[in-house]
Amino acid sequence: MVATYVRRRVYTAHQQYTQGHYQPDVADSYRYSKPAPGEIRLVELYRSHPLAGLSARLHICPLSRAPPYEAISYTWGDVTTNHTLLIDGCSLPITRNAFMALHAMVPLWGSRLVWMDSVSINQQDSLDKNHQVALMAKIYQQATRTLSWIGDSANAERAVLQLYRLRPALVSKQMYQEVIDMMNMKVCGIETSPTWSAVSELLSHQYWTRMWIIQELAVSKEVFV
C-alpha cells in the first residue's frame, strides 16, 4: 500500500511538472553571482525529500579544480522559458526541454552535480556567455561523462537498446547501408516494425542537427544516452 501511494504521488508530481502546471510560490528571482576568469557554475540537483520536486544549488569553482561533475548535452527546443527551476529558494525561468532534462537527472536521494549551459551560464549577460562559451570544450572534456538527453520518450529507450545490440554488426558496410535505407524508408516493411520505427525516430531527432554536438560528444570521456 505504501509503495503504491508513493508511486501515485511521484506520478502526479511528474505530470504536474511535464505539463507545466507546477508553479512554485517564491518571492524572489534568482540572481547570478559573477565567476572569476577560469571559473564555472556547477548545478547541484536534489530533492528535499523523495516526493518533493526538483531543486538546485549553484556552485562557482575554478574549472581546473572542479569536483567530479557530469555535463548535459540536449536540444533547447522551444526557447520559451515557461518552466521554473528553484535555486536556493529563488526562481529561474528555463525552457521546457531544460527542465525535463534536469528532472530526468535528479536522484530521489542525495544530490547530483551537473553542468548545463542554460542554467550554468547567465543567459541575460552577454559577457558571461562569451566567457563561459569559450570554456565549453574544456568543460565537456573534463566532465566525468556527458549525459546526452534526447527526450523522455519510451521509443528512445527502445531504440537505444536496439542500436546497442547491433553494435558489432553496425561496423559492417551492409548493415550500415540497411540502417541508411531504413532511415530513408526505402526498404519495404522495416518501417512497420515498432523497434525500427523507434530507431528511425531516434536517429531523425532534432538533437543530431545541433551545431555544438560534435564538440560536446567528441571531447567527452564517456557519453551516456
How is the chain split into domains, by residue range? 2-150+211-224, 154-204
Residue 145 pLDDT greater than 90, yes or no: yes
Share of the chain above pLDDT 90, in %: 44
- Say if residue 104 is exposed, middle or buried (CB neighbours under 10 Å; 0-12, 13-18, 19+): middle
The pLDDT-based confidence of 3 (bands split at 50, 70, 90) is very low
Residue 200 pLDDT greater than 80, yes or no: no
Share of the chain above pLDDT 70, in %: 57
pLDDT of residue 221: 72
Pairing of strands 90-94, 145-148: unpaired
The tens digit of pLDDT for each residue in 39-76 reads: 999 999 999 887 788 999 999 999 999 999 999 998 87
Residue 97 pLDDT greater than 60, yes or no: yes
Q: What is the mean pLDDT of residues 185-197?
A: 53
**Alpha-carbon radius of gyration of the chain:** 19
pLDDT of residue 87: 96
Residue 34 pLDDT greater than 70, yes or no: yes
pLDDT of residue 170: 53
Residue 5 pLDDT greater than 50, yes or no: no
pLDDT of residue 43: 98
Query: Considering only 7-16, 84-93, 126-135, 160-169, which range has the smallest mean pLDDT?
Result: 7-16
Residue 197 pLDDT greater than 70, yes or no: no
Q: What is the mean pLDDT of residues 156-181?
A: 58
Q: Which residues of 174-185 are buried (b: 16+ CB within 10 A; e: fewer)?
A: eeeebbeebbee
